[in-house]
Structure 1
Amino acid sequence: MTAPLAVRSIADFRPERVVKVPDLPELAELTDAERQACLALGIERVHADPDHDAVDLAAGAARKLLAETGASPGALLVIGSRAPGRLMSSEATRLQELLGLPDALTFSVGGLGCVSITPALLTARGLLAADPGLGEVLVVHGSKPPTPRRYRHPVTVSGDGGQAVLLARTGPVRVLDIAQATNGAYWDLYTVDFRDRPTADWREECADTRRYSFTLAMEGRARLRELYRELLARNGMTTGDVTCHLSQNLSAGAFRFTEEALGVRLAAACAGNLAVNGHLGPNDVLFNLSGAIAGGELPPGSRAVVFNASPVAAWSLLLVEHAGGEAETHYL
């Protein structure tokens, strides 16, 4: 039997400053075709504030959650940022200090880009299973693009946002199953050459756009189909037993690709969040889960499957159940 894991609370934080996608300064550097691709993503605006780094964003979300719930988590898991502000320092222990959690077991997880939320959940489940005295685990992440340019051609536009997730053995949203797969052949498909370069010159570059748009897309479709089939089979379910399907937020085209590949319809919360927040890295999927619950797309007693993918390449699926009534839920 899988060790129990549940989401007790989710809090999100986004800076007030907003920029509309047509006003992004990097659009002036693009070709006409690249500019049109950016404007066709289905993203209208993103939150963007140079005064907030990834730790600030994560701390903003965590402070909200701790204030709302009064929780005292025994462990703090930090999903590391893509471009830490300093080398040889610890974002994890910096957040431990900022949040006033001196006794919390603290360390970082990640390495899978957008899919890094999955190893965080797996680690939290393992900690809770291994230590009966541990009551709650706090997972936090501050999502900020690794370069000054927010448009990642031809994929998405990244916004700024922090997220905090309080996990325990019981709660209003039960994590029933987790599936993950990776392929190291794509480990450097997207890179930022930063050594001996001013930050203003950093660019997120794709080594081979055809390999991303076609080869990886075809493999991703096959991987997600197989993971979805296995996930449902080992839980004695069919697609008809799933009330709500959710994914990460990359683009309107990516939503259509997922729907067509898997024969499902994604929740409206995904497109709604994409339009006004853009891509928020590992925060996307649980942000959309919160929106689906708040909007009535995942009512109590129903189940959802959450899809996630990253060009590193990694794929993951979560099977969750909105149990309701086990604890007060804080979706901020």
Structure 2
Amino acid sequence: MTGITIQAMGWHLPETGMTVADLPELADMSTRERQTCTTLGIERVPVDDHADSRTLAVRAAQRVLADTGMTGIDLDALVLVEPRVPKALLTSEVTAVQAALGAGRAMSFSVGGLGCASITPALLTARGMLHADPHLSTVLIAHGSKPPTSRRYRHPVTVQGDCGFAVLLSRNGPLHLLDVVLESDGDYSDLFRVDYRDVPVDQWREECLDIGKYSLRLAVTTRDRLRSVNQRLLQRNGLRQEDIAGYLCQNISLAALRFYQESLGVAMESACADNLRHRGHLGPADALLNLQTTLDRNRWHAGDRVVLLNVSPVAAWSAVLIEITTAGADEDILL
């Protein structure tokens, strides 16, 4: 189909994992923190203690290349969703991934800054590149998601697992990337932080500097912004809410899932709750993994339109409109 499409998606989801009940940090949590952690709706998260974010990204990208019959040299561009914690300061994560893939001729750079919503600027960038330059035919987005500290519970938000994902954009694929809307607000830019200077790595702790601001003020802002990005997306594409075959969001908690549904008056696809329970939060990968899971369940048909929502407490809100362009598209998207 003419336009910018998602040709393939690839994943590296570690087979090893950890149950929330076995998280080592539970032992030194307060009663309130422990109660919040164990009522998020997350039972287990994938864990690979031997793979850093770079390795996870490379493994997922290699999966996409292998399944599409491509090699790294076939890529025109590589966009890395930057890791929350780079392997070392001053080094280039993206060119390291480029070298590992053998993508020597690919124009390569990183995007990010929006936490778990950073997949949205990556999609915007890749889509814009393909629109702007007729000489480009393939842009690969890759990311390795790991928690920023050794503690997987991120109070009071979620429990994070390990994951690598890659998305290949081209001009001929089963998912048409129709539109992207993104909003952000700097009032929340330092709400969550990890102080790391002169602090040993094993003592790094992610902190929410104002729980009330997160649970009350940001919640109200998020409700309004979710409605805003969804409304803008629909209006500028001449659509009504009933024209959307499915809504997908990220995997934070059951409370967050209910909040998204109530804010928009829609039901999220069941894949969101299922992946939340069995895989927890996987950073920027969540909404796309829920998309993949729903495609595998044969929920949609050619011509159906779906919306992917992302929220980040830094704060950012986005909505992505995708059209299923071929019957049996689930067979063409690679997991």
Structure 2 length-normalised TM: 0.96
Q: CA deviation at 1:275?
A: 1.0
Cα RMSD (Å) of the superposition?
1.4
Q: 1:190 aligns with which of 185, 189, 192?
A: 192
Counterpart residue number, 2:133: 131
Summarize the alignment of residues 33-112 of structure 1 with structure 2, pairs less than 5 Å apart.
Answer: 33-71=32-70, 72-112=74-114
2: CA distance between counterparts of 1:99 and 1:208? 42
Superposed CA offset, 1:241-269 (max 9, x none): 11100001101110000001110000001
1: CA distance between counterparts of 2:328 and 2:160? 35
Counterpart residue number, 2:285: 283
SS in 1 for 2:238: coil
Counterpart residue number, 1:31: 30
Q: CA deviation at 1:326?
A: 10
Q: CA deviation at 1:301?
A: 2.0
SS in 2 for 1:331: coil
Q: CA deviation at 1:297?
A: 2.4
SS in 1 for 2:8: strand
AA of the residue aligned to 1:96: Q
SS in 2 for 1:46: strand
For the Cα contact (< 8 Å) 1:68–1:330, is it kept in 2?
Answer: no
Counterpart residue number, 1:17: 16
AA of the residue aligned to 1:87: L
Superposed CA offset, 1:189-236 (max 9, x none): 000001111111000100101100110110010011111112111111
Gaps (5+ residues) in structure 1? none
2: CA distance between counterparts of 1:194 and 1:91? 19
Greater shift after overlay, 227-236 or 95-104?
227-236
AA of the residue aligned to 2:31: D
Q: CA deviation at 1:170?
A: 2.7
Q: CA deviation at 1:85?
A: 1.2
Superposed CA offset, 1:109-140 (max 9, x none): 11111111111111111211221111110000
Question: Are residues 1:329 and 2:335 paired?
Answer: no
User: Kindly tell me: are residues 181 and 203 of structure 1, through their superposed partners in 2, closer, same or farther at Cα, counting changes over 3 Å?
Assistant: same
AA of the residue aligned to 2:276: L
1: CA distance between counterparts of 2:29 and 2:95? 39
Gaps (5+ residues) in structure 2? none
The number of aligned residues is: 330
Q: 2:146 aligns with which of 138, 144, 149?
A: 144
AA of the residue aligned to 1:23: D
SS in 2 for 1:148: coil
Q: CA deviation at 1:325?
A: 5.6
For the Cα contact (< 8 Å) 1:8–1:170, is it kept in 2?
Answer: yes
AA of the residue aligned to 1:331: L
Summarize the alignment of residues 173-322 of structure 1 with structure 2, pairs less than 5 Å apart.
Answer: 173-322=175-324
Counterpart residue number, 1:164: 166
AA of the residue aligned to 1:5: I
AA of the residue aligned to 1:58: A
